[in-house]
């Protein structure tokens, strides 16, 4: 390994290679429940060319490589399960282009959500990107590649659907482009070409290293508002989601339910965010959203909370800091969730399931769903907080997560950014032919099996 | 409840309904609807009531027409707001049983459910004051907006008892200053109508401020500004406090010109109307109210009710008017900076 480290230092500079125990410790884990797995060395490249050279070296020596963005995935996908190199992309954080007219941005894969957010606010105040409810240091690249979702997902779908193009270094060291940028200077779309982006989306870094990507941008409205619909029957909330998304107005629809504090127990809150260029338009949109659920307002079985501006601001915050508070509710910094991608029609069933598991296992839980598209599907989250310093508490959360993954698959959902055990659960449910194709593609792209080994394997 | 149906039957003017700013009724219609309400039958009044409390002020006999409306809404389950909203609010504002006894000194200022306003109780104006607040002493009168008199009746005696036993009794204090009209209205008006005994004396914030400003008169620097006052719903229960408000404005040197939607014609802040899911009505009255404030050239919009303040302050600001709580305006006149 000494020799490898010297080679790596030659490529990226001494400062950006480390096999110190402190670094190996930090890079062995994330805030979730997965057991730590230490890399042999951590490398921080600064260019696609450096990555190409690292990959040529790693491929020749058959050294595992684990690409990493913000390291906040929570399900342990950036742990070096077979040792080797963790490739930390955070130095490659440049914002390369913002095209105002065609509404897209080209960024390096290590650019963070917070960086792009503040860059746009400063230089292109009429545009914004879809921000996940993750800390601002989460990377845009990482989130797109795990099929993340965020504050504009009710319009734009998954963040991977907002992807216009990629630049990728293959495990064998070749650099290539995918999408319109492979044909023209513009990064405007993946269509109408054969869509090769799918070779890198959702693979947990097992097929290559994305170095650049283009994402869609959206109007940053002059006026914004949020309406929070409250009901106490999950079936009503499910139908409200269906009705509200049919208006095609909201940018974000987020449901939340929790047993604590006691005054929210038994209720579902559905926050519906939208914006407009004028007050008049904003009021019109508000009225149309309200009209869509008028049936429940008339029946008095659901309605919108009258919130003062200060409280509305909290619901309109992107990312939402309130969610971070739950993440540390048990103190000790442990938090993980099963984000199940599932059809919206399973909302009520998922609510009941989450409550049943949380109550029976006596874990601190919080449930909710971000609606993707016009109710086409949702990311339903079963979130569990635990005290990392309390082994029994952590064990309880682990048990709840495992059971949730299993039960989600049973009812027809799929765990998102699945931990290794959940990946195996998914594979077992998967059409064997699909898994066979995955393996053939992977073997073709990564003949030596060096990319994030241990993931998407049985 | 102290209510005399005969007084209502005999009333010729039916001010409670004909003067209503939210339901348009001529005298004949008002007579019809009044009878339905007396007899406990469904009435459009029960369905359209904005719960602004104003009819309590309009009634020449102090016969509690608004309290009756709320009773009837609850009896007939004609909920003004969606049931989950009401249930959640009631749970959220329930007594937590976390009250701890502590000694208080006069003046004891009751901040009701607004502990975040504790910073307002400061300086010469409130020298030596003790502050009490929180869910365990919350007056609960707001459930009138949700057709839930029963919750007030259930909780209020305990709240009164808490104020006495946790704060006043041991300290040998027998009076509190009610920062919010709602508490003063509860202890002096609603409790009396319901026959609930209140063993301490309630002093309205206006009376306290007026008297204190008089003591500090030499230190007052007149503000010399035109103000609009946003009268809250609960002040309808206690219109006698208006004279203290006039006195305060005189002492701090502000002018409150006549305007269309002030005093007996005051308009609701809109919050509860929004809770009733009547956004168009809330938009309309807020616009009328703000246009009216603008028309008199108001520099400040003065609030006493924290709920009105929180719900209207952004829109007031957008119109170029400064939203301010009355006690803070008095602090300015005394040369104190804004504390909240």
Question: What CATH number did the domain enclosing A66 receive?
Answer: 3.30.43.10
Q: How far apart are CA A314 and CA A323, in angstroms?
A: 11
What is the reported pTM?
A: 0.94
Rounded to an integer, the average pLDDT of A383-406 is 88
The answer to whether position A433 is within a domain reads: no
Q: Is A314 helix (H, G, I), strand (E, B) or coil?
A: helix
Please give the pLDDT value at position B339: 63
pLDDT tens per residue across span B205-224: 999 999 999 999 999 999 99
Which residues on neighbouring strands pair with residue A41, listed in sequence order? A85
Share of chain A above pLDDT 70, in %: 98
Q: Both B242 and B324 in a single domain?
A: yes
Q: Both B292 and B242 in a single domain?
A: yes
Domain count, chain A: 4
Q: What is the CATH number of the domain that holds A215?
A: 3.30.465.10
Residue A257 CB partners (closer than 8 Å, separation 6+): A234, A264, A267, A268, A269, A351, A366, A367, A368
Give me the half-sphere count of Cα atoms (radius 13 Å) on the Cβ side of residue B130: 16
Q: Both B319 and B262 in a single domain?
A: yes
The Cα of B201 is separated from the nearest Cα of chain A by a number of Å equal to 33
pLDDT of A36 > 80? The answer is: yes
How sure is the predictor about A225, in pLDDT bands with cuts at 50, 70 and 90?
Answer: very high
Please give the pLDDT value at position B200: 98
Q: Both B198 and B222 in a single domain?
A: no
Answer yes or no: are the C-beta atoms of A370 and A149 closer than 8 Å.
yes
Please give the pLDDT value at position A396: 87
The answer to whether position B83 is within a domain reads: no
pLDDT of B6 > 90? The answer is: yes
Residue of B nearest to A308 (CA): B311
Q: Both B119 and B223 in a single domain?
A: no
The answer to whether position A373 is within a domain reads: yes
The domain boundary, picked from B147, B182, B205, lies at B205
Q: How far apart are CA A216 and CA A106, in angstroms?
A: 9
The answer to whether position A434 is within a domain reads: no
Contacts of A287 in chain B (CB under 8 A): 279-280
pLDDT tens per residue across span A155-212: 999 999 999 999 999 999 999 999 999 999 999 999 999 999 999 999 999 999 999 9
Please indicate whether, in this complex, the C-beta atoms of A230 and B85 are within 8 angstroms of each other: yes
Q: How far is CA B280 from CA A12, A356, B98, B286, in A?
A: 62, 41, 40, 10
Domain count, chain B: 3
Look at strands B322-325 and B300-303 and give their pairing: parallel
Q: Give the domain range for residue A354.
A: 323-418
Q: What is the CATH number of the domain that holds A310?
A: 3.30.70.3450
The domain boundary, picked from A189, A219, A249, lies at A219
How sure is the predictor about A338, in pLDDT bands with cuts at 50, 70 and 90?
Answer: confident
Q: Which alpha helices (H) appear in A161-278, and where do they start and end?
A: 234-246
Positive or negative: CA dihedral A232, A238, A239, A242: positive
The Cα of B76 is separated from the nearest Cα of chain A by a number of Å equal to 14
Please indicate whether, in this complex, the C-beta atoms of B82 and A303 are within 8 angstroms of each other: yes
Give me the half-sphere count of Cα atoms (radius 13 Å) on the Cβ side of residue A189: 5
Q: What is the CATH number of the domain that holds A359?
A: 3.40.462.10
The domain boundary, picked from B157, B173, B205, lies at B205
Please give the pLDDT value at position B340: 59
The Cα of B86 is separated from the nearest Cα of chain A by a number of Å equal to 10
Identify which of A332, A325, A382, A322 has the alpha carbon closest to the alpha carbon of residue A357: A382
Q: What is the CATH number of the domain that holds B176?
A: 3.40.50
Q: Both A362 and A246 in a single domain?
A: no
Q: Both B146 and B127 in a single domain?
A: yes
pLDDT of B158 > 80? The answer is: yes
pLDDT of A333 > 80? The answer is: no
User: What is the total residue count of chain B?
Assistant: 340
pLDDT tens per residue across span A86-100: 999 999 999 999 999
Q: How far apart are CA A396 and CA A384, in angstroms?
A: 9
The answer to whether position B339 is within a domain reads: no
Contacts of A283 in chain B (CB under 8 A): 283
Please give the pLDDT value at position B107: 97
Q: Both B180 and B222 in a single domain?
A: no
- Helices A347-361 and A391-411 cross at an angle (nearest 10°) of 150
Q: Both A126 and A184 in a single domain?
A: yes
Which residues on neighbouring strands pair with residue B229, listed in sequence order? B302
Q: Give the domain range for residue B34.
A: 5-75
Residues of B with CB under 8 A from a CB of A: 79, 81-85, 87-88, 91-92, 94, 271-272, 274-275, 277, 279-280, 283, 310-311, 313-314
């Amino acid at each position: 390994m000494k020799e490898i480290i010297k080679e790596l230092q030659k490529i990226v500079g001494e400062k950006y290679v480390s096999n110190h125990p402190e670094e190996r410790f930090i890079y062995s884990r994330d805030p979730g429940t997965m057991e730590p797995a230490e890399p042999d060395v951590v490398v921080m490249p600064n260019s696609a060319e450096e990555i190409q050279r690292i990959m040529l070296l790693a491929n020749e020596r058959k050294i595992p490589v684990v690409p990493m963005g913000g390291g906040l995935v929570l399900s342990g996908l950036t742990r070096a399960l077979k040792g080797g190199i963790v490739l930390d992309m955070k130095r490659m954080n440049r914002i390369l282009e913002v095209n105002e007219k065609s509404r897209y941005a080209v960024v390096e894969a290590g650019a963070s959500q917070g960086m792009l957010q503040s860059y746009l606010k400063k230089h292109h105040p009429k545009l914004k990107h879809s921000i996940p409810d993750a800390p601002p240091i989460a990377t845009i690249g990482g989130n797109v590649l795990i099929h993340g979702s965020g504050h504009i997902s009710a319009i734009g779908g998954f963040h991977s659907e907002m992807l216009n193009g990629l630049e990728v270094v293959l495990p064998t060291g070749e650099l290539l482009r995918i999408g319109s940028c492979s044909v023209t200077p513009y990064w405007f779309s993946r269509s109408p070409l054969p869509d090769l982006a799918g070779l890198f989306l959702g693979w947990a870094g097992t097929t290559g290293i994305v170095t650049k990507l283009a994402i869609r941008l959206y109007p940053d409205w002059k006026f914004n508002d949020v309406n929070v619909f409250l009901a106490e029957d999950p079936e009503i909330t499910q139908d409200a989601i269906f009705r509200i998304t049919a208006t095609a107005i909201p940018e974000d629809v987020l449901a939340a339910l929790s047993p604590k504090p006691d005054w929210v127990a038994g209720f579902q809150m559905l926050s519906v965010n939208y914006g407009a260029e004028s007050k008049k338009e904003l009021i019109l949109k508000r009225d149309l959203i309200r009209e869509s659920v008028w049936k429940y307002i008339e029946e008095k079985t659901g309605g919108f909370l009258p919130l003062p501006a200060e409280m509305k601001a909290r619901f309109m915050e992107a990312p939402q800091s309130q969610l971070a508070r739950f993440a540390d509710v048990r103190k000790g910094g442990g938090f993980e969730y099963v984000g199940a991608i599932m059809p919206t029609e399973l909302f009520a069933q998922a609510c009941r399931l989450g409550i049943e598991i949380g109550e029976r296992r006596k874990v601190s839980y919080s449930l909710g769903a971000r609606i993707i598209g016009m109710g086409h599907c949702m990311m339903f989250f079963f979130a569990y907080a635990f005290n990392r310093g309390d082994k029994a508490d952590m064990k309880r959360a682990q048990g709840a997560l495992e059971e949730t993954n299993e039960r989600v698959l049973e009812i027809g959902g799929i765990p998102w950014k699945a931990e290794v055990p959940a990946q195996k659960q998914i594979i077992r449910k998967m059409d064997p032919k699909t898994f066979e194709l995955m393996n053939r593609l992977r073997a073709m792209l990564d003949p030596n099996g060096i990319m994030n080994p241990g993931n998407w394997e049985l | 409840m102290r209510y005399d149906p005969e007084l209502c039957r005999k009333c010729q003017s039916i001010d409670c309904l004909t003067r209503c700013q939210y339901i348009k009724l001529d005298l004949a219609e008002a007579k019809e609807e009044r009878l339905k309400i007396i007899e406990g039958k469904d009435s459009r009044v029960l369905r359209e009531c904005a719960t602004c409390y104003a009819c309590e002020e309009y009634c020449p006999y102090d016969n509690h027409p608004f309290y009756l409306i709320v009773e009837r809404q609850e009896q007939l389950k004609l909920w003004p707001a969606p049931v989950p909203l009401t249930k959640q609010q009631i749970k959220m504002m329930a007594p937590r049983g976390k009250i701890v006894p502590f000694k208080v000194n006069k003046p004891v200022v009751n901040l009701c459910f607004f502990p975040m306003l504790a910073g307002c109780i400061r300086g010469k104006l409130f020298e030596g004051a003790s502050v009490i607040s929180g869910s365990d002493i919350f007056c609960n009168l707001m459930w009138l907006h949700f057709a839930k008199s029963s919750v007030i009746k259930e909780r209020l005696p305990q709240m009164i008892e808490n104020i006495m036993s946790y704060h006043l009794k041991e300290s040998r204090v027998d009076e509190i200053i009610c920062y919010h009209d709602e508490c003063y209205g509860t202890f002096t008006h609603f409790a009396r109508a319901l026959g609930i005994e209140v063993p301490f004396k309630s002093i309205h914030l206006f009376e306290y401020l007026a008297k204190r400003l008089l003591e500090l008169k030499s230190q007052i620097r007149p503000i010399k500004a035109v103000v609009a006052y946003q009268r809250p719903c609960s002040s309808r229960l206690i219109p006698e406090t208006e004279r203290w408000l006039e006195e305060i404005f005189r002492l701090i040197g502000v002018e409150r010109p006549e305007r269309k939607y002030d005093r007996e014609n005051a308009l609701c802040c809109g919050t509860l109307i929004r809770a009733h899911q009547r956004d168009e009505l809330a938009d309309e009255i807020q616009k009328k109210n703000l246009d009216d404030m603008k028309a008199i050239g108001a520099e400040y919009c003065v609030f006493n009710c924290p709920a009105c303040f929180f719900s209207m302050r952004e829109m007031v600001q957008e119109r170029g008017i400064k939203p301010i709580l009355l006690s803070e305006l008095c602090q300015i006149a005394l040369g104190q900076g804004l504390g909240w």
